[in-house]
Amino acid sequence: MFDVTKLKRDKEALNKCVKIKDNVMYTLKKVYVMFPEKFIDKNMTKLGNTSLVTGVMAIIDENNNYATSIIAGRITMYPNEIHSMLVDNIPYIVLEIEKDNVFIPNMNIIKEASVVFDMYDLFILKGKIPWYLTYEDIPKIFKNLNKYTGSKAGDNILTYEILTAIISRDKNDIHKEYRSTLKSMNDLNTKQPTYVGLENIWYSYNTTVSKVVGNYMKLGIVSAINNKETKVDAIENILRE
């Protein structure tokens, strides 16, 4: 249906596809909403004639433009059609909303804290980041938790900036932190990372102590043996004294 590599991120183009009147969003042109099928497995989304969709999604027009929504809450939608497709062998759901239709019937989102852990588990612990989210988008999702879910878990955005830095890796060398490959701010737009989940002990931790002191000691020992330590942290120095 889409070749996402040919889509251009253009928020202004998508703004021209919708209008808001009396707290209802209508389509002025046909649009598509895309998100990972995993959202359904995690109970972050329910599909039907009336769908309840977690607002971390891509909104795409018919001219290969897209905008990224980072609303950490569930939004009611009335899709005309529902499709599925693969992006890099990962299943995605695509909702079609025709021109001159109700897109979002109520712009006031009901606050549901239940989606907070599901997003943290999927994005941070498992590193399953949708293609339309950038390195800078990820912390912003959690920054808005209080606004959209009522949870204060995102009040300190620095926490999520650090976690995002840990799970973001160089596409050519998954052992190398993405942030260490950046030469300028422009690289954030031209060079996207790949991701490893925080619970992935093989890649998320690079010292012997950090690998073996967690809940997965056997895996940590195997990882420590097979991956030579590249640095010694402060805690390890203390333990060796």
Q: Determine phi and psi for 196, rounding to 5 degrees.
A: -120, 140
SS3 content of the chain, % helix, strand, coil (to 5): 30, 30, 40
- Classify residue 104: in a domain, yes or no: yes
Residue 203 falls inside a structural domain = no
Could you list the pLDDT tens digit for every one of the 241 residues in the chain? Answer: 789 999 999 999 999 999 999 999 999 999 999 999 999 988 899 999 999 999 999 999 999 999 999 999 999 999 999 999 999 999 999 999 999 999 999 998 888 888 999 999 999 999 999 999 999 999 999 999 999 999 999 889 999 999 999 999 999 998 889 988 988 888 888 888 999 998 887 665 565 445 444 554 444 433 443 455 555 555 455 444 5
Our count of domains for the chain comes to 1
Residue 159 is predicted with a pLDDT of 93
Pair type for strands 81-87 and 31-36: unpaired
Domain range for 79 is 4-111
Q: Is the pTM of this model over 0.85?
A: no
d(CA 36, CA 90) in angstroms, rounded, equals 8
Q: Which residues does residue 46 pair with via DSSP β-bridges, in sequence order?
A: 52
Contact (CB, 8 A) for 199 and 169:
no
Strand 8-9 relative to strand 65-77, pairing: parallel
The strand order across the sheet containing 102-104 reads 18-21, 24-27, 102-104
For residue 61, the model assigns a pLDDT of 97
* Contact of 122 with 129, CB cutoff 8 Å: no
pLDDT for 183: 86
Would 229 be classed as within a structural domain? Answer: no
Q: Output the CA–CA distances (angstroms, integers) from residue 142 to 145, 203, 224, in the order listed.
A: 5, 23, 32
The type of residue at 123 is: F
In a domain, 60, yes or no: yes
How far is Cα 152 from Cα 172, in angstroms, rounded to an integer?
Answer: 36
Instruction: Give the separation between CA 171 and CA 189, rounded to whole angstroms.
Output: 14
Task: Determine, yes or no, domain membership for 152.
Answer: no
pLDDT of residue 237: 55
Longest CA–CA span in the chain (Å) reads 71
The whole-angstrom separation of Cα 144 and Cα 181 is 28
Is residue 74 in some structural domain? yes
